[in-house]
Amino acid sequence: MSKLSQNFLHDKSFVDKFVYYVFSMGLTRPLIEVGCGKGIITAKVNPDVCIEIDVNLLQYLRSFSPVVSDARFLPVFRGSIVSSLPYSITRDFFIEVSELNDVNKMLLILQKDFVDKILEYPSYISFLLNYYYLIRPMDVIPPDAFSPKPKVYSQIVYFVRKRRYDDRVSQVIECVSRFRNKKVKKAAELCNIKSDNERRVRDYKPWEILELLSSMDISSV
């Protein structure tokens, strides 16, 4: 494994499947690939912007005019993103990209455990993503499809933005999520919001985020 915790998808069947999804699911240009790695996917999707943080990998990407940058601090503001994200930066990446209203679609390879959590486990990041995106989990990828081989399964996931960024809503989600074991009424009070809701924050599934916000009289668009 590289010092930047990158795992490169090398199994041809999964590479081809990912590329098929890129072209069949309506991802619009400019197409941004985050973490181009050794260019295995890059060569097939021909991104308009190729972002890679590891300067040791630039030798594989010369044909794509790579931009050296960190996925947690993206130098782009619009388009569609494709990426096999390093697992260690997944959370920070999503917090960053949630604020980019004109990044409308993403096709990502994520750690399957992370995908399971954002679909079922109540937390700040799962509430946040379910508020801003339609989330469609797709193919599960085994560890041996990568090099070096990770210890966990991965999954292709398609994200489509459904709401523009709202700083107030994001702050409420972050604050209330800190008190997931408390009743919503108490969590809201600790966040300087009023609510009479006696359910606990943890009782809400991530996809019930609108119901949770509504119980605190927080409107959404």
Element (H, E) at 67: strand 67-68
| 68 domain-assigned | yes
Same-domain pairing of 44 and 147: yes
Residue 99 shares a structural domain with residue 148: yes
Are 148 and 121 members of one domain?
A: yes
Annotated binding residue at 35? yes
Q: What percent of the chain has pLDDT over 90?
A: 89
Domain identity same for 74 and 172: no
Average pLDDT of the residues of the chain: 94
Query: Could you tell me if 155 and 139 are in contact, meaning their C-beta atoms sit under 8 angstroms apart?
Result: yes
Does residue 57 fall inside a structural domain?
yes
Q: Is 70 annotated as a binding residue?
A: yes
**188 falls within a domain:** yes
Which range of residues forms the domain containing residue 130?
Answer: 8-165
> Average pLDDT, stretch 19-41?
95
Q: How do residues 112-153 score in pLDDT, each as one tens digit?
A: 999 999 999 999 999 999 999 999 999 999 999 999 999 999
Q: Based on the domain organization, do 112 and 175 belong to the same domain?
A: no
Token pair for 14: 């999964």
- Three-state DSSP state, 102: strand
Q: Are 59 and 156 in a shared domain?
A: yes
Flag whether 80 is in a domain.
yes
Model confidence at 1: pLDDT above 80: no
Is there a single domain that holds both residue 124 and residue 41? yes
In the predicted structure, residue 3 carries a pLDDT above the cut 60: no
With 0.75 as the threshold, say if the pTM is over it: yes
What pLDDT does 5 receive? 64
156 and 191, same domain (yes or no): no
In a domain, 74, yes or no: yes
**Ramachandran bin of 61, using left for φ above 0, alpha for ψ from -120 to 50, beta for the remaining angles:** alpha
Q: Is residue 2 part of a domain?
A: no
- Say which residues have a Cβ less than 8 Å from residue 115's Cβ, sequence separation at least 6: 137, 155, 157
- Do 65 and 147 lie in one domain? The reply is yes
Residue 221 resides in a domain: no
Nearest to 22 by CA among 158, 160, 161, 162: 158
Specify the 3-state DSSP secondary structure of 159: strand
Within this chain, do residues 197 and 116 fall inside the same structural domain, yes or no?
no
How many domains would you assign to the chain?
Answer: 2
Considering the domain architecture, whether residues 124 and 209 belong to the same structural domain is answered as no
Domain end residue (candidates: 142, 165, 188): 165
Query: What percentage of the chain carries pLDDT values higher than 70?
Result: 97
- The answer to whether 4 is a known ligand-binding residue is no
Q: Which of 18-22, 148-152, 183-187 shows the lowest per-residue confidence on average (mean pLDDT)? A: 148-152
In a shared domain, residues 97 and 126: yes
Evaluate whether residue 1 is within a structural domain. Answer: no
Average pLDDT over residues 60-84: 91
pLDDT of residue 2: 45
Which of 53, 52, 97 has the alpha carbon at shortest distance from 78?
A: 97
Beta bridge partners of 51: 34, 67
CATH for 89:
3.40.50.150
Q: Is position 9 annotated in a ligand binding site?
A: yes
- Are the C-beta atoms of residues 114 and 88 closer than 8 Å to each other? no
